[in-house]
Structure 1
């Protein structure tokens, strides 16, 4: 039986923050779940903390520290988009047995030594100015990522996105197999847009019996276009109750 008391930690994607997951998080809380949505250092309301030190390792530490200091156990750890990179790295820092279920939602799922820039057709390169380390958020409407938005919603979205350190995208993972030890692992791919980045990930994981692979017929920003369905999918990945 799923553990309905299990804490849920949701990690957002690039250039945004916890604000992007407010509707899904609020719905899950209304359903009685404990939900944590950390904003990674240098982004969202923590954008004033950005520096050249912000990288993939720091974002992994953000996640591991939340779980440590909130003393969470039997955790469902959810990653969206870029969030799959620091979530995967964070598992190397979290004691074994604390995270018991993983859910990647249209997210990167790297192997050891990989960086995001190698896993996407839209790599985030260092700006031309050698003193600059920030990558501006791309306008994603042409890629179909947020084609579902109204003009008003898209303007609000673009106004709140923040530049992100290039080292989040260029730093390589250092993995020893902690992810493979997680008892429950689910990968969900969005099929409502031309998804050349994440469909191959889903197809690869379909060959691994340790993974459950599912689909959602929406665009990349599942948490915006399919709030209730995304909350349902998260609930479906809750870990089994501790014995």
Structure 2
């Protein structure tokens, strides 16, 4: 992406210096009280305190909800392009839990009430849901941590798509997740969005980072 002329802020991708406290070196700050709202404010704080403008923010998976909430709060218009990468394209009043089964949502609510965290998906499911195998799993397994139920239960507090900016939905074509297929179709029907696909599984940025970078550069 840098070869294409972009200024890349890798700190925003890892979570290590963006205020995200669910991943990376900041995980020790995680607690059951922290969720979607805290993570969205972390994005906005990162942009403000580093004086970043005209930002292309790429949100993956759960991060789509974070991006939607951040767009609502982006009063200074620092985000010029919101790119949802195989992500939850949440609208006003929606949450990640809202597209899950009743059984999963009940478990999230019980965890919220008892102050517990949501554990990661079992490793044996990663190949099917994320495309993760071999060395990728070995690297990720000790680094994938529990998350607060508030990440999934908190709802977007406004219309994230009301402002004039660029919006893209990019689906990972090898991922059969019905939710992301639906978001792609909804984006194709939404004149505010450009809709595209990248040839890879859900975690394509891990499995084929060059292909991912090329796809983001093309969409930008």
Range into which the TM-score falls when normalised by the shorter chain: 0.7 to 0.9
Q: Is the 8 A contact 1:109 1:201 kept in 2?
A: yes
Residue in structure 2 matched with residue 101 of structure 1 by the alignment: 81
Residue in structure 1 matched with residue 209 of structure 2 by the alignment: 227
CA 1:105 to 1:84, structure 2 compared with 1: closer, same or farther past 3 Å?
same
Map residues 177-196 of structure 1 onto 2, 5 A cutoff: 177-196=159-178
Deviations 1:129-171 (A, max 9, x none): 7533200011265361233421x43132111111110011011
TM-score of the aligned structures, taking structure 1 as reference length: 0.77
Shift of 1:83: 0.4
Name the CA distance, whole Å, in 1 between partners of 2:167 and 2:109.
36
1:55 aligns with 2:35: yes
CA 1:42 to 1:237, structure 2 compared with 1: closer, same or farther past 3 Å?
same
CA 1:90 to 1:127, structure 2 compared with 1: closer, same or farther past 3 Å?
closer
CA 1:103 to 1:123, structure 2 compared with 1: closer, same or farther past 3 Å?
farther
Shift of 1:182: 3.8
Map residues 101-140 of structure 1 onto 2, 5 A cutoff: 101-120=81-100, 123=104, 125-126=107-108, 131-139=114-122
- Equivalent position to 1:90, from 58, 62, 70: 70
Deviations 1:42-77 (A, max 9, x none): 433212112232021111110000000000111111
Residue in structure 1 matched with residue 198 of structure 2 by the alignment: 216
Once superposed, what is the RMSD of the aligned Cα atoms?
A: 2.6
Say which structure, 1 or 2, has more relative contact order (CA 8 Å, 6+ apart): 1
Name the CA distance, whole Å, in 1 between partners of 2:204 and 2:22.
23
Q: Is the 8 A contact 1:192 1:219 kept in 2?
A: yes
1:69 aligns with 2:52: no
Residue in structure 1 matched with residue 24 of structure 2 by the alignment: 44
For structure 1, which runs of at least 5 residues remain unmatched after alignment? Answer: 20-36, 239-243
- Equivalent position to 1:174, from 137, 140, 157: 157
Q: Is the 8 A contact 1:11 1:83 kept in 2?
A: no
Deviations 1:170-207 (A, max 9, x none): 111101x3433142111101121322120001001101
Shift of 1:237: 3.4
Aligned length: 213
Name the CA distance, whole Å, in 1 between partners of 2:66 and 2:162.
16
Q: Which has the higher helix share?
A: 2
Residue in structure 2 matched with residue 149 of structure 1 by the alignment: 133
Residue in structure 1 matched with residue 143 of structure 2 by the alignment: 160
Shift of 1:128: 5.6
CA 1:169 to 1:178, structure 2 compared with 1: closer, same or farther past 3 Å?
closer
For structure 2, which runs of at least 5 residues remain unmatched after alignment? Answer: none
Q: Which moved more, 1:57-66 or 1:220-229?
A: 220-229
